[in-house]
Amino acid sequence: MNRAAMLLLDILYPNRCDCCNDRIPYDMLLCEECIGLLLGQRIDFADWAQNHPAHPWTAGTALFSYADAARTGVLAMKDGRRGFCRFSAKLLAESLAETAGIDFVTWVPVTRSRRRQQGFAHAEYLAECIAEELGIPSRGGLLQEQAGSVRQHDLPAAEREIYAQRFTGTGADLRGMHILLADDILTTGATLRRCTSLLLEMGAARVDIAVICAGVKVSLRDD
């Protein structure tokens, strides 16, 4: 885009930071201040994994504690805004750079009616952004969510495992595939455990997960 077009766009449709809503230049995904805050919220996935049951995936990556700037960013992402999502996809791709051999990225689906209602699925967009950063394809149609009446965040942990049974596989042939499964938030992990197991049942050789936020307290990374 040339400079004149950028200036015109800036007047007509100001670019705003998903985390604080301040105006930002067109070539920025978030404002400098929020980027600084987010980097201070980085977590180590191992901290989450330590306090949760055995999981079926091989490797996992999470970026931020689910609070403050990251929480606002996830909420903006659910509203269809994309700056925070793209910023997170870049960081996820960086931390996955050493995980060679991923065949494609897929995502935790939402029910058809919810997707229709929203007009998009945010985890799908996240998966597409990560795939683009990694230079590999994204692929949907592997998992499906059956409609249910309960919102998961209202459920206690034990019931989430049962509720996660609403996800089913489509019977795709995934033999030998190394898959990256993306979602926005990891709390108890019930959804990602279920979805990972389904991909493995369909023949996947290995599933890794990538999430933006995990529900753990802030602990600064050593690096």
List residues binding Zn ion (CB under 5 A): 17, 19-20, 31, 34
Q: How far is the CB of 30 from Zn ion (least distance, A)?
A: 6
Q: How far is the CB of 213 from Zn ion (least distance, A)?
A: 17
Hey, is 115 helix, strand or coil? helix
**C-beta of 31 vs 126, nearer to Zn ion:** 31
Hey, is 31 helix, strand or coil? coil
Residue 176: count of CB within 10 angstroms of its CB: 10
CA dist 214 → 66, 127, 209 (Å): 6, 17, 12
**C-beta of 19 vs 199, nearer to Zn ion:** 19
Q: How far is the CB of 32 from Zn ion (least distance, A)?
A: 8
**C-beta of 33 vs 94, nearer to Zn ion:** 33
- The answer to whether residues 218 and 40 touch, using CB atoms and an 8 Å cutoff, is yes
Residue 27: count of CB within 10 angstroms of its CB: 8
Q: How far is the CB of 21 from Zn ion (least distance, A)?
A: 7
Q: How far is the CB of 72 from Zn ion (least distance, A)?
A: 9
C-alpha 47/C-alpha 182 separation (Å) is 19
**C-beta of 31 vs 199, nearer to Zn ion:** 31
**C-beta of 34 vs 105, nearer to Zn ion:** 34
Hey, is 144 helix, strand or coil? strand
